[in-house]
Amino acid sequence: MVSAVKRVEFVRDRVSYIVVRGHWCNIIVLNVHALSEEKSDDSKDSFYEELEQVFFIIFLITTLKFYYEI
């Protein structure tokens, strides 16, 4: 039996993702635990900046793999 899980990454304490092999394409599930409203605005801003970086990294990885798998 072959596992459908291609990759699991724990990026930060509150951010992780898993890449699952699909029939026609890979599926990326991003797991995020956002900060609560009681946290300072600076903490929230840095969290969302890190989250944006994770989105960008996933985009780059999937784009590069698409071009090199052709």
- pLDDT tens for the chain, 70 residues long, are 568 898 888 888 888 888 898 888 888 898 988 878 888 888 888 888 888 988 888 888 777 766 665 4
Q: Which residues constitute the domain of residue 48?
A: 5-69
Per-residue model confidence (pLDDT) at position 70:
47
How many domains does the chain divide into? 1
In the block, tokens 């394409």 appear at 25
Contact by Cβ (8 Å): 15, 51: yes
CB 30 within 8 A of CB 54: yes
Instruction: Cite the DSSP H helix spans in the chain.
Output: 41-69
Q: What is the pTM of this model?
A: 0.66
